[in-house]
Amino acid sequence: MAEKKFVFILTHSYDDPDIVAGAMQLATNMKAFDMELDFFLMEKGGLLAKKGFAETLTWQKKDEFSPVAELLRTLQDFGGRFYICASCVKHYGLDKVELIEGSEVRPGSFLAEGLQERQALTF
């Protein structure tokens, strides 16, 4: 069977941490099966690349998902790559802060190119 590749497009953060946690939980489960995953952070999701931001997402439904910060660290440990939408960087002040390890800024055309070989999951 051909190796499946996915890109998780995350567009939420503080506005819906349960969606972020659910997406990251699914991604963690997929990585356990050695699937190739990337993350493209857009809109409010771009804030997840700000070092320490995930730790501020404390309002989640209890006992349904692991905390976002814990899931993010697990995905980083699994070698997850986090691409930040270049158009969102200045808008969300990400050009003035330290970013998480394993992240880099990329334009939307990078996502478009990646979608030629990856299935997208948008949250």
Report the run of H or E that residue 87 belongs to, with start and end. helix 86-91
Q: Which runs of E-coded beta strand occur in the chain?
A: 5-10, 36-41, 81-85, 103-106, 119-122
Q: Tens of pLDDT along 48-98?
A: 999 999 999 987 666 677 899 999 999 999 999 999 999 999 999 999 999
- Percent of the chain residues past pLDDT 90, beyond the cut: 85
Weakest mean pLDDT among 2-6, 40-44, 66-70, 86-90:
2-6
Q: Give the pTM.
A: 0.92
pLDDT attached to residue 64: 72
Rounded distance, CA 119 to CA 107, Å?
18
Domains of the chain: 5-122 (3.40.1260.10)
pLDDT, residue 60, reads: 66
